Structure 1
Amino acid sequence: MSQSRLILAAAVIALVTGCASPNPYDNQGQEQAPRQGMSKTAKYGGLGALAGAAAGAAIDHNNRGKGALIGAAVVGAASAGYGYYVDRQEAELRRSMEGTGVQVERQGDNIQLIMPGNITFATDSSDIASNFYTPLNNLANSFKQFNQNSIEILGHTDSTGSRAHNMDLSQRRAQSVANYLLAQGIDGSRVSTAGLGPDRPIASNADQAGRSQNRRVEINLKPLPQVQQPTQQY
């Protein structure tokens, strides 16, 4: 078989293997990944396979086809593993946040939770609103169940008032969310906070509707360093 065909076969084999193999994250979470279309597990496994095939072919100059097969199998399976974990976590978060007003968005292996100001805090306050406790309790349960992510909490404000005041308010709001999650048993080593004030608006501050969107708290979930896939040597 020609080297080019070996490299193509390597990618296909790794993709299939990555999706079919027992997954180390099977025991975390109860929700199954969505069934519509190609799952993110398959997609990331396939991308990893292609990257591994290229790396293996480049490193093994004497037998590029063999190097591609090894690289694709190892890297493809590893990439699919964490993608599978995030599939399950995303599905559980969407279920538990349904009807709360919290938006769940996903980019690659990162998940972002957007909590608008109308459910989080009263105007010019960092005290958690009463109707925000239920979403936070659900998040705490999810974060304990899925514990392979860092939890970055970002506070945002609109542009009303001085920048210094808004920077302080946004930090206090982010810290209030962090303190509540820590009180529910979340590992503090996973949690970080930052107040960004009015610096990252997602809508215009020229009208009330836009300012309401900008007053928000975001939580970014990213893989912890120890669960990042290591660089493989071939």
Structure 2
Amino acid sequence: MKYWLALCAVFTLVACTTTDPYSGEEKTSNTAKGAGIGAVAGAVIGAASASKSDRKKGAITGALAGGAIGGGVGAYMDRQEAKLRDELQGSGVQVRREGDRLYLIMPGNITFATGRYEIKSQFYNVLDSVSKVLKEFDQTAIKVSGHTDSTGSDQLNQTLSEQRAESVRQYLIRQDVASGRIQAIGYGPRYPVASNSTAEGREQNRRVELELLPME
């Protein structure tokens, strides 16, 4: 049984291994990782639900079904990531991928005026592009989080971060992204990504992030 589990996972991962055109290194796509995990899970369930004499067959059948499901989530997020990178190229918005989650990092200096929560009009086109992709890929939930640097009082920064996150949420809703998909949270200065002791670090900390995750 252990042999079949390992074999299912290895075959799935090897089949989806590609060569990075920039580094020349072989890498496994997120689709393959999801398929591998799904294959192992499916094999376990398939074997457990089959009779003793048919466990090998049940494991293989379950692995194929689980791999398809797991790979489907990864492939969906792969396509969404590619579309976002294409739409946001040169916009100043960073696209980051962690497993089956996507993060859009929007620097505060290009999104809002200092100390304000109204979105700059020149940033509308960027958010329009984001909205277009979010409407196309409507099986992802969206968490909008606001972050500030440590300058000023904690209460002021907390309120500002909440207002900025809500401003982005409301903009997306106005562009017909379903409101039930979007959550807005303000974190104030609690989660810096750089040192607040330098102007450059503080600028990085003033940001709004969109976290996109597959709906369960």
Q: 1:167 aligns with which of 137, 158, 164?
A: 158
Question: How far is 1:93 from its partner?
Answer: 0.3
Cα RMSD after superposing both structures: 2.3
Question: How far is 1:116 from its partner?
Answer: 0.8
Aligned equivalents of 1:58, 1:203: Cα separation in 2: 49
Q: 1:124 aligns with which of 112, 115, 126?
A: 115
The 3 A distance-change label for structure 1 pair 74 and 206 is same
Question: How far is 1:39 from its partner?
Answer: 2.7
DSSP-derived class of the 1:221 partner: strand
User: Partner of 1:195 in structure 2?
Assistant: 186
- Given that residues 11 and 53 in structure 1 are in contact (C-alpha distance below 8 angstroms), is that contact kept between their aligned partners in structure 2? no
Structure 1: stretches of 5+ with no match in the other structure: 20-33, 229-234
In the TM superposition, 1:46-85 aligns within 5 A as 46-58=36-48, 60=50, 62-63=52-53, 64-85=55-76
Question: How far is 1:65 from its partner?
Answer: 1.9
Structure 2: stretches of 5+ with no match in the other structure: 22-26
Task: Using the TM superposition, name which of 210-219 and 74-83 deviates more.
Answer: 74-83
Question: How far is 1:68 from its partner?
Answer: 1.6
User: Partner of 1:108 in structure 2?
Assistant: 99
The 3 A distance-change label for structure 1 pair 172 and 6 is closer
Aligned equivalents of 2:60, 2:82: Cα separation in 1: 33
- Given that residues 91 and 126 in structure 2 are in contact (C-alpha distance below 8 angstroms), is that contact kept between their aligned partners in structure 1? yes
- Given that residues 8 and 36 in structure 2 are in contact (C-alpha distance below 8 angstroms), is that contact kept between their aligned partners in structure 1? no
In the TM superposition, 1:206-221 aligns within 5 A as 206-221=197-212
DSSP-derived class of the 2:152 partner: coil
Task: Using the TM superposition, name which of 36-45 and 198-207 deviates more.
Answer: 36-45
In the TM superposition, 1:139-150 aligns within 5 A as 139-150=130-141
Aligned equivalents of 1:182, 1:155: Cα separation in 2: 17
- Given that residues 10 and 68 in structure 1 are in contact (C-alpha distance below 8 angstroms), is that contact kept between their aligned partners in structure 2? no
DSSP-derived class of the 1:202 partner: coil
TM-score by length of 1: 0.81
- Given that residues 56 and 72 in structure 1 are in contact (C-alpha distance below 8 angstroms), is that contact kept between their aligned partners in structure 2? yes
User: Partner of 1:29 in structure 2?
Assistant: none
The 3 A distance-change label for structure 1 pair 57 and 124 is same
Aligned equivalents of 1:112, 1:61: Cα separation in 2: 44
Aligned equivalents of 1:85, 1:140: Cα separation in 2: 17
The 3 A distance-change label for structure 1 pair 7 and 217 is closer
Aligned equivalents of 1:42, 1:91: Cα separation in 2: 16
DSSP-derived class of the 1:204 partner: coil
User: Partner of 2:147 in structure 1?
Assistant: 156
Aligned equivalents of 1:73, 1:182: Cα separation in 2: 39
In the alignment, is residue 43 of structure 1 matched against residue 68 of structure 2? no
Aligned equivalents of 1:148, 1:7: Cα separation in 2: 30
The 3 A distance-change label for structure 1 pair 4 and 162 is closer
The 3 A distance-change label for structure 1 pair 70 and 168 is same
TM-score by length of 2: 0.87
Question: How far is 1:48 from its partner?
Answer: 1.5
